[in-house]
Amino acid sequence: TLTQPASVSGSPGQSITISCTGTSTDVGGYNFVSWYQQNPGKAPKLIIYDVNNRPSGVSDRFSGSKSGNTASLTISGLRAEDEADFYCSSWTSTSAFYVFGTGTQVTVL
Amino acid sequence: QVQLVESGGGVVQPGGSLRLSCATSGFAFTDYSMHWVRQAPGKGLEWVSIVSYDESQKYYSASVGGRFRISRDNSKDTHYLQMNGLRPEDTALYYCAAARNAAWHNFDFWGQGTLVTVSS
């Protein structure tokens, strides 16, 4: 499991960053990190793939990066509609194959 | 319009079996490998299994290996998860997800999930 903060909050218009810490066998070893937004009662939605790429149709307010064993998701210009749970994921060279982060609840104050 | 629709969930006693289905439309099914991901009530996401586009490769998490079996029918654009020996800790919302063949690690499309409850 990848480690994320349980919750992050910010005011409308601000920027927030969610961290995702793994090891050299997953986040640190490969550029196979993706991020998912899950609104309450809904399925997850891919918002960042391969560390820092956005699928078509995803707002450019979402951006991803990685340094060492930690990946990060930044949401700029925070909006009320961004309130959701966010999960990171990575391929892992261990027999686990794929691991998800513990999840971060984003609150817009 | 991409659609993934899971079905087959329900309530089952410990030790029982269920077969989940994921019917897809709106994309080229054989361009994608298919995953199952589950989410226990109030918990995070957990990867369960993947099947490659041609069924030549199948992988399972340690928690379900030996009990669950993944498959697909490319003529029906559908994939399946046969779950045997169910345990209470298998209780979860089961999502199917599609990943491009060249990038299994990106879960591009998701269904809405089907709920599996294992209880006596």
How much is the mean pLDDT over chain A?
Answer: 96
Q: Which of B61, B62, B106 sits opposite A50 (nearest CB)?
A: B106
Query: Between chains, do B106 and A103 touch, taking CB under 8 Å as contact?
Result: no
pLDDT at B26: 97
On chain A, the residues whose CB falls within 8 A of the CB of B94 are none
Region of A68 please: left (phi>0), alpha (psi -120 to 50) or beta.
Answer: left
On chain A, the residues whose CB falls within 8 A of the CB of B50 are 97-98
Query: pLDDT tens digit string along A75-89?
Result: 999 999 999 999 999
- Per-10-residue mean pLDDT of chain B, 120 residues long, equals 97 98 97 97 96 96 95 97 98 98 93 97
Distance from the Cα of B44 to chain A's closest Cα (Å) equals: 6
A91: contact with B, CB 8 A cutoff:
yes
Eight-class DSSP state of B55: S
pLDDT at A2: 96
CB B91 within 8 A of CB B119: yes
pLDDT at A94: 85
Q: Look up residue B40 and give its two tokens.
A: 């226990």
A64: contact with B, CB 8 A cutoff:
no
A45: contact with B, CB 8 A cutoff:
yes
pLDDT at B102: 86
pLDDT interval class at A95 (50, 70, 90): confident
The helix (run of H) or strand (run of E) holding residue B114 is strand B114-118
Query: Between chains, do A97 and B50 touch, taking CB under 8 Å as contact?
Result: yes
Give the distance from CA A18 to its chain's centroid. 6
Residue A96: pLDDT over 90: no
Reduced to 3 states (helix: H, G, I; strand: E, B; else coil), residue B60 is strand
Query: pLDDT tens digit string along A25-84?
Result: 999 999 999 999 999 999 999 999 999 999 999 999 999 999 999 999 999 999 999 999
Query: Between chains, do B108 and A99 touch, taking CB under 8 Å as contact?
Result: no
Query: Between chains, do B95 and A43 touch, taking CB under 8 Å as contact?
Result: yes
pLDDT at A1: 87
CB-neighbour burial class of residue B86 (10 A; exposed 0-12, middle 13-18, buried 19+): buried
Amino acid at A101: G
Q: What is the distance between the alpha carbons of residues B64 and B106, in angstroms, rounded to a whole number?
A: 21
Query: Between chains, do A50 and B103 touch, taking CB under 8 Å as contact?
Result: yes
Q: What is the distance between the alpha carbons of residues A74 and A62, in angstroms, rounded to a whole number?
A: 6
Query: Between chains, do B59 and A96 touch, taking CB under 8 Å as contact?
Result: no
Q: What is the distance between the alpha carbons of residues B97 and B33, in angstroms, rounded to a whole number?
A: 9
Distance from the Cα of B43 to chain A's closest Cα (Å) equals: 9
Q: Which of B46, B47, B107 sits opposite A46 (nearest CB)?
A: B107
Query: pLDDT tens digit string along B86-109?
Result: 999 999 999 999 999 989 999 999
